[in-house]
Structures are given as structure tokens and as C-alpha cells.
Structure 1
Amino acid sequence: MAGRGGRPWGPIRAESAEAKALAEFLRAQVDVSGKTLNTLAGEIHFSKSRISEHLAGKVPDQKFVTDLIRAAVLEPRLCERRLAEAGKLLREAAYPSPVKPPPPAASVLELAEARAQQVEIYDRLTRSLEQQNELREAAGNSAKLVMILLAVINKLERRITDLTGERDQLHAAHAAPDTLRQTQQQLTRAQEQEQRAQQELQRAQEKQRQAEELAARVQAQVDQLADELDRLRTGNTATRYDTPDHGPAHPAGTADPVGDDIDQALTRAVAVNDHDDQMLQRITHDLIPDPPADGVVRDNPPDNPASGLITADNLPALQAAAEAAAETGDYRKAVRLYTTLLNSSTHFQGPEDPDTLAARHHLAFWRGEAG
């Protein structure tokens, strides 16, 4: 592996086997990080020459080891594990054991095979960490999109109610046919937009669930690969997405500017969902060819597709929103929110939990009120 702008490492000139093991371990962390010594020197405030000395076998102090690991290993859980390993190696290097007769030398072929295994696992671990970052971004995109689409749907429901009332008033007042026709066209358009928004909401919710399920699988793979590296070492010693602006679906200057704005928002929602869908399909495809390893769950479909939409901590807020909709007479919205609350409560708290039973009762009641 290379750690200095693509150049291979030089030989390790350590005074003990323990010091050499520490240097090899630190070099491995630098390799996985992909950072150059110049980059690390700026981040941990040690000179490049001093970093090179310690990575060539000179025993460092605790501060150097801690700073280097934290700069090279960004994933918090993995970083803590690497710090513990480095601390153990540092203690052994500081107080090396007496020199023992060397064990029988392994064959060149065995050493080459072990090294090839390590390189392969490093590559797979790097890919898995990159996938983690992509999945984290996709889940964040979907979560934001769910909130935006819920707001759009709420706005459309109010708009449909207002336009329906306006149309009925125009009918009663025998208004001009052109005025009545324009209002009816806006009402029809708003109803179609609500259907589109509901479809994109379901897509965004499904993408969030998929991203969270894939993230769990990738995390298991990261843990398994890290353990495999530990075993080999012991035996041989990751954009914010900018959606394209496709322009308004209707010509500028139409008589329905509110509808035009909503169409643009829905177009961006489609673009975000399409982008995340492609990324999730690619990562799913990447995970399939690898043969299952011990401790890695390859296929574990969720019991409830709605489980990724709401967290257990959000249930009280969802219940409050449903109650507020019912109290203001918006029965349609109340039914929708109570349906989501019932599904989520069933998943997180169980079908017999008092809150789940209460949600089921309220849903049945407000469905009756809504007709």
C-alpha cells in the first residue's frame, strides 16, 4: 500500500517486534484513510518528517497515536476500536518482551496470500464506508422530501376545499361561464396534483425505508470486514443532492400561478426520488454478488414497509397532529394521520399496546365521521 502521494512505504526499522507491529498497524490506518502524509501533518500538527519516523518504527508517544488514529479513522465506533488496539500495541512497544528465537519462517507463498487477503479486505471495507455515506445522504434526502410533500399535500387539501367552495358560489350566483370554467380547471388540476404528491410521498417513504435497511446491512458488512482484518493482522504479525430545475410544467404567465409553483415542487420531488432510486439499486446490486459471510445478514426484509417512515420518538408529535386535524374538522387529514400513527405504533410498540389500541379506535371513529 502507499501512504505518501502514491509512493510505496519504505522498510520498517524498528528495535523490537512490538514496535514493528505498532508501525504496521499505524500504516494500515493511513492506507485505509487514503490521506497523504502532508494532509495528516496539517490535521494532527506534527511535521511530516516526524510522522515518517514513527511510521518507520520509532516508538511514538500516546498523543501522536491518538491524534493519528482520530484523523485517519472517521467512523466513531471504528475509531474507538482502533484507539483501543493502538493503545495496547503502544504499551507493548514501550515495554517489549525479551527476544525469543524466531519461529519457523512461513513460506513466501503463504505470506503473499495473506497480504493479498488484507489488500482485498481493505478495498471492500473502503467501498462499504463509501456506501454508508451515500445511504446516509439518501435517507436524509427522503426524510426532508417526506416533510416537504406533507406540507404540499396539506396546502393542496386547503386549496381543493377553497376552490370547491368558490365553484359552488359561482354556480349559485350564475357567474360567467368563462369564470366558472377557469375555477373548475384549477380545481381539477389541484386534485391531480394531490394524487401526484401522494404518489411521490409513498416513493419517498419507501426510499427512506430502503436506505435504512441497506444501511443496516452495510454496517454489518463493515463490522465483519473489520473483524476479518483484525484476525488476519493477528495471524500474520462514504452531496447534498442538487435537483435539476426542469422548469414549470405549464407556460409562464398562466392564470394559475399557485398551481405552477406546486408543479415545480412536484417535478423536483420526482427528480430526488429518481436519483435516490438509482443509487439504492446500485448499492443493492453491489451487495448481492458478494457471498454471505458469517455474521452478515444479506436478506432480511422488514416486517412492515412503514417502519422506516416514523421513529418511535416521533409518535407523540404524530398523535398531536392527528388530534389537531380532527379538532379543526379536517376529517380527511385526520384519517390519513391516524392511519400512519396506527401503522407506526403497531410496529414500534406492538398491536396490543394501549397507544396502538387507542389509535385504532380513533381511526375507526374519524373514518365514520369522514364518511
Structure 2
Amino acid sequence: MAEKKAGRGWGDLQADTVEGRALAIYLRQLLDRSGKQLRDLEPSVRYDRSTISEFFSGKKVPSQQFIGKAVDALTTPLEREIRCQEALALWHKAKNPAPPSAHLPAPRPAEEAAAAALASVAATAQDQAAHAQEQLTQAHERNDRLTQERNRAQQMVTALSMLTVDLQQRMSGLKNPQGQETQQELARLTYQLDTAQQDLGRARASRGEAEQGSPAACARAATNLRNSSPVSAPPHPPRAATATPPSCHPCPKTFKRPSSEPTSTRCSTPCTASSTKARPCGTKSATNGT
């Protein structure tokens, strides 16, 4: 029996000719596309199920009347005319088959199934290869972005670390902590140190997220780096005012600078010759050896 049962495929074709096989295959395709069963055709074609099964297996060639009724029952009005023409053309060939010598050997179902399976596997492999190539390209691009973000974060960490150390050294080098100016300078440096340490913490967190390689971490790292602006190094506090040396002074002794300057510094203006003991600055005295 060639009846198509629920959950099972068609049975083997039993036609003796190539034309009979072609007609049976065409009728099976119509039935498959319609979604019906062989038993659903009984009221339309007025044949019992056993005879219908023989027509669909190719064991017997149906009548022209059966072809017309079967096509009407299995097709929609829009395609009914063209399907009927195709079925009748196959029916005429099945009723008047060509001699066996005029046909090439019929393809074996096993070979057809193997070729179809191979083509399906090849198509699937091509799709998977294209998808893998796309993923590889995206991974390379993402890795480049993460490397850039990590380098930027490392530069930020280095700069902020140096700035933090500089601020701490300047705070520890302040003298006279009770003075008003020193207190103001200390408060300013403290504020800048706190800001630098906060930015340093964000920069380190951004570097860690970039090294983890998460896309979301990469976006957060970029946002943190844009929001973190390094604190500009504050200007050094002004030096204490020093006494300005006179343009000329009587020697033999060297003009003495304030204690903050080296004692060997001498003025660049030569002394006047108004005194017999006077001598140009920059020469050594015979009495004190300076």
C-alpha cells in the first residue's frame, strides 16, 4: 500500500515505466502540498482507498477522469488550471510509455538522497564558515578597541600617580604651618590631592575593566576615561623676596647674599676706584682669602 500515514513517508514506487513513476511522483507532491491524506480524496474522486493507493504508488495508471478530480481536490483555484495541464501531460505519457531502450537508467533513490544530503551539508558548512569569519572579524575589532582603552587607562594611571606623589611631597615640604598663606596653600593642595586620588581610582578601574575584555566594560571604561580629567599641577609657591644688591659697593669684602643664596655669589658690577683699598668684585682678597 502506498498510503501516506501520519508521521511516515511514502512507500516505494511500483511503476514499471519511467513515465508511470513520474506521474505517481507528481500526484504525491500535490497531496503533500495540500496537507491532506489519501482517505480525504475518497469523496471527491469516488474511488476506494485501495485503488487510490495503487494510483499513487504507480502500480496502476489512473483514468483521465481521476486525474481531473484529484487535481481539483488538491489545488487552489488560482493554480488549478496549470496543475491540471501538467498532470494530464504526464498521464498521456504514462498511458503511452516509450520503449525501455529509449530511456536512460532511472536514477536510484539512494544516490539521489545521498547527493541531496551532501548538498545540504555543503550549504550548511558554508553558512557556518561565513558566520565564523564574521565573528572573528568582530573579535579582532573588539580586541583592538580594548587594547586602545587599556593603553589610555594605563597612561592616565601613570600621570595621576606622578601627580599624587608630587602633591604629597609639596604638602610635606610646607614650612610654618601656622601661617595664613601656608594654610591656604595646604588647603588648595589637599583639595587637588583628593581630586587626583579619585581620578586615579577611576582610571585604575577603567584599566581593569578594559583588561577583562567585556564590551560593556569597554564602553564604561571609555566613559570613565572621558569623565576623568587629570588635575593640573599647581604652580610652585613664590619664593621669598631677596635683597637686591647695590650696583657698586666698596670692597675688599665680598657682598653677602641672603642665607638662602650661595655665599660664593658675587655681583656683576665692578667696584669704583674711589678708595685705594677698593677692588673689583670677583677677585680674591689677600687678607681673608674670599
Q: Taking CA–CA contacts closer than 8 Å with sequence separation of 6 or more, which of the two structures ends up with the larger relative contact order?
A: 1
Q: Which has the larger radius of gyration?
A: 2
Report the TM-score, using the length of structure 1 for normalisation: 0.28
Structure that is richer in helix per residue: 1
